[in-house]
Chain A
């Protein structure tokens, strides 16, 4: 009996020993190499954060996905890729999507416990190439049927641009997937969008089983990057991007309406406050706010640092996070503004509130915390 027990212990020890010695990985490619379990996963680059009640999930470099309620005690999840992840979006507390570099889209259907790769850059390349060829056929047909020379010239110009993209795509087949998704947004379990570099827009209506390329749905022939998708209180979708790119969709991303952008520099984010006002922000401390989504008014911020992300505080104020540890807290009604800087001076990529005065910040230095000074002690600008 004893002997059997010892044999059992031995066997299990051996099994663990074998299990813990991973197979060597030759010709390393981050796309399909599982994310490394890291002791300091919270200290690397973190780019996206999801808040669900008291629980947080943060994503970042080397396929890092960590889950926590207390930033000091996080747990890293197994992820099938090591690319830089860029954004996280939840439909409900079970269904979560994550976007990443190399055309990666990850999905969890168990609240972030396990992750599956639903799309990679090779598939994205195929999809885009098919779409480009389809567009080429469409354009060529349209040029033939052009009603006047002026229209034909316009179309020829567009075709030239398209050939440029087709050439690029053909090179990509050799180089490998180079395009990152920069954001992902799902309206429900079925309908969602993933957007990113060079104007990539993918849309699914069957929960990610099939994707269609929607790059042409916005006026973005030069291929500016799309940085952020935000769903408004009435289901409207706001899309912002490079060089002031600003568009709106009222049919869950099927079609878009280009908006008059108040700014020609890049926009990194957007958010709706409790009054339904739309805030957009980006390069060099530029912040604009609009009541109706059409007319924007600039907010004086007294900072030149890029503003990369934002959220609403519990009291309804807007907080924006940016480069050099910059934090702006803005009262949406009075536009009264407080400016803080995190001691790390590190560029920030996101901000969430954990309690009245406690913020969680993410960015180049990983997870950070920040205590908002009590109202009386606030240092305003």
Chain B
């Protein structure tokens, strides 16, 4: 046994044109192992410190005009935007019971002690800054909403009810149905004492633990809404999805074992792919980049791609063992046979990822960088480390026996796919695909840009957050889709009559735009104030030319409607929804107004607020959409042309990919998933990775064609060589991302669903349509090649 093995090894040395890479790798196996061990330990230390972060700034297109304007005034707008709204609902009776009021006071107090809360800005009926006022014969009178002598008796509760009615807080701090009250909690982005920035995740957890968990009972329900909560829930979701990784690993291990029947090699593949992920995360941490809910996809992809390449190597190693080589020889030959193909495939993946850079959103760029790093790492771990490991550990005899057995069988599934090389089947398949594509194109017409769901689109419609949000929208007069236009002027000029009058007119213009619910601005407050200082007489509700009168009219204005040096006044537009149509209409109308009323002093700058940011994001996505498709297909076509030097071949490979792209768009439109930051990259990933199948299959088929086999034989040959690997790769990739479908984060679920669909559809498309198209395009064996 020993003797024969040595002989085989000699054969390797003699027959193999063993390349430079192979020598470098296999002549220094131990140093390499040590090298990998040290680097892995080092990078593991860094990878362990990676925490998912969800920064708003990274999720939005930072270079877009709207966002630039928003950043310019983000400090001024922060006071208005960054708050959580906590409603306390009683399911029995109304809020005018002593028990409820005690509870509300307690919760209000409790919240004011949380880190990050801007105490002085807090508002609830139990905070002293919430007052009622009314006009009397002597002028304004008023006081705190909670009666001075409140003691929980029926009388003081009745007094409280009256104060609430005349305080104008119904719909604001008290629900329209009087069954819940709201605590408005503004947050300090930067802690004024410690100078540290607010940890949203921690704050969100505090709310859960110290408020919700403590006070919620059968009859008391607590709803929490606000940006900080969204971020907190996103990070919670992201951590959960991190757990999915181990699920994906388990399933992959089961599949690997089913495929190879060899525990040893299954473990080695998992180990190397896991190391690739550790390296990728470690490097990301080292270069100062983070991991966000979007780029979290990358470890899953890196793992799956790693496994799919690892499988090829293991497959070859076992096959070589079947032929009688020893562990080292089998590994060397496997490396030699696969590193060029593997490298090419990985390069095409990496190029596919880099086309994502055309989307000018930081999280997607991070995703593109992370994915490129990940693919580069796979080259080292799964093309380098893996064969070294197998050269030591080898494969189990059981795996060798299993492959021996399987190789002798002619797989019935291969026979089935091979039929698509026959003209009737080919025409049928292409015809059906054509019909489906036509239907798909028709369906894809309804495809929308942006998010279509209400509430926080990042989270699922039935998530706790969105249920809370729906509750507050239903019971309080507030929309959560806020579009802010910044009226910019010279310092000190924001309340000049000319500017206020123009703002007033602008507000009315926007109030008449379909999809707009209400508009608020300093001009609106001034008009309310004008009526207010004239005993509530509505006939005075107009912007006044007199500066003194104007100042008096806004003396009671809430903060945030003009900035510190009076150079900017936000016009806050509340929308029915954040559908792309609505946002486009609003943007168009703002521009139309600016064109109709040009002013040297006042500019209406677009745009802030969640809807304004979404409008910018949509615009960037819309612009990037076709460019990205153009790039990714351009790159794929060029790669295929270089590899095959035949337009016919390129068509055979690219048409199935296009079919998948169309079908996935139809699927998106049917499921109501819009084209957005999360789903646009998916198309590029699907095409970039999907092209691998075509390349593998077609290259093997071409090999056979060159040997003079006819198309049917050639395809069967290709299937026997790569069919299993292609199938396995498709399934591994699909499983890696399919776990995401259960993510609590909506966009991750969308990404998971679409990628799963694309990976499987690409695989089937390649297996069915490549032979069919090859038949229709008249691909023939090259007789001449026989002689060579």
Q: Using CB atoms and an 8 Å cutoff, list the residues of chain A in contact with chain B.
A: 22, 24-30, 36, 38-40, 43-45, 47, 61-62, 82-84, 86-87, 101-102, 175-178, 180, 182, 225, 227, 242, 264-266, 268, 283-284, 304, 306, 308, 323-324, 345, 347, 349, 363-364
Contacts and interface: CB of A to CB of B under 8 A. Distances in A.
A30 B505 contact: yes
Given A38-B508, A265-B137, A304-B134, A349 B538 contact: yes
Contacts of A36: 505, 508-509, 512
Interface stretch (B541-549, B699-707, B733-741, B762-770): B541-549
B175 to A, nearest CB: 14
Contacts of B541: 45, 61, 84, 364
Given A39-B514, A284-B135, A44 B508 contact: yes
Given A26-B598, A284-B134, A363-B538, 5 more contacts: A30-B501, A30-B543, A86-B539, A284-B135, A304-B134
Contacts of B595: 24
Nearest to A264: B137
B543 to A, nearest CB: 8
Contact of A40 (B501, B511, B536): B511
B536 A347 contact: yes
B561 to A, nearest CB: 19
Contact of B511 (A25, A43, A225, A324): A43
Interface string B501-522: 1101100110110100000000
Contact of B136 (A180, A227, A265): A265
Contacts of A43: 511
A177 B598 CA distance: 23
B588 to A, nearest CB: 15
B590 to A, nearest CB: 15
Interface string B140-176: 0000000000000000000000000110001000000
B135 A306 contact: yes
Interface of B: 134-137, 165-166, 170, 497-498, 501-502, 504-505, 508-509, 511-512, 514, 534-547, 549, 595-599
Contacts of A304: 134, 166
Nearest to B506: A28
Given A28-B498, A82-B505, A364 B596 contact: no
B295 to A, nearest CB: 44
Given A178-B549, A180-B542, A306-B135, A28 B537 contact: no
Contacts of A306: 135, 535-537
Contact of A349 (B170, B539, B547, B598): B539
Nearest to A85: B539
A178 B545 contact: yes
Contacts of B535: 242, 266, 283, 306
9 contacts: A27-B599, A36-B508, A45-B541, A61-B508, A61-B541, A177-B545, A227-B539, A284-B135, A364-B541
Contacts of B514: 39
Given A39-B512, A44-B511, A177-B545, A308 B598 contact: no
Contacts of A176: 497, 545
A102 B165 CA distance: 34
A227 B535 CA distance: 12
Nearest to A225: B534
A308 B136 CA distance: 15
A38 B512 contact: yes
Contact of A227 (B501, B504, B511, B537): B537
A201 B507 CA distance: 33
A101 B211 CA distance: 51
Contacts of A345: 170
A363 B509 CA distance: 19
Contact of A284 (B136, B508, B543): B136
A323 to B, nearest CB: 6
Contacts of B137: 264-266, 283-284
A29 B170 contact: no
Central interface residue in A28, A36, A364, by most chain B CB within 10 Å = A28
B453 to A, nearest CB: 27
A364 B538 contact: yes
Contact of B501 (A26, A29, A242, A266): A29
B110 to A, nearest CB: 32
Nearest to A82: B505
Contacts of B165: 324
Nearest to A346: B538
Nearest to A343: B176
Contacts of B599: 26-28
Contacts of B546: 175, 178
Contacts of A324: 165
Contact of A308 (B170, B512, B538, B597): B538
Contacts of B547: 175
B221 to A, nearest CB: 26
Contact of B596 (A22, A82, A101): A22
Nearest to B539: A86
Contact of A28 (B505, B511, B544): B505
Nearest to B511: A40
A184 to B, nearest CB: 12
A39 B501 CA distance: 20
Contact of B597 (A24, A102, A178, A323): A24
B419 to A, nearest CB: 58
B508 A268 contact: no
A225 B536 CA distance: 13
For the complex of A and B, list the 9 residue pairs with the smallest distance between their C-beta atoms, beginning with the closest: A265-B137, A84-B542, A86-B539, A176-B545, A38-B512, A349-B538, A178-B545, A39-B512, A178-B546
A181 B585 CA distance: 37
A88 B559 CA distance: 37
Contacts of B538: 45, 47, 308, 347, 349, 363-364
Contacts of A45: 538, 541
Contacts of B501: 28-30
Nearest to B136: A284
Contacts of B509: 36
Nearest to A350: B538
A289 B680 CA distance: 72
B591 to A, nearest CB: 13
A11 B547 CA distance: 49
Nearest to B534: A225
Contacts of A177: 545
A177 B546 CA distance: 9
B294 to A, nearest CB: 39
A364 B170 CA distance: 17
Contacts of A25: 596-598
A43 B599 CA distance: 27
A225 B543 CA distance: 18
Nearest to A40: B512
Nearest to B549: A178
A19 to B, nearest CB: 15
A218 B237 CA distance: 73
A266 B531 CA distance: 14
A266 B539 CA distance: 14
Contacts of B136: 265, 283-284
A323 B514 CA distance: 28
A84 to B, nearest CB: 4
For B497, B535, B537, the residue with the greatest tally of chain A CB atoms inside 10 Å of its CB is B537
Contacts of B534: 225
A265 B535 CA distance: 10
B536 A323 contact: yes
A342 to B, nearest CB: 14
Nearest to A84: B542
B596 A83 contact: no
Contact of A182 (B504, B539, B596): B539
A83 B511 contact: no
A30 B503 CA distance: 12
A84 B597 contact: no
B512 A27 contact: no
Contacts of B508: 36, 38, 44, 61-62
A18 B135 CA distance: 51
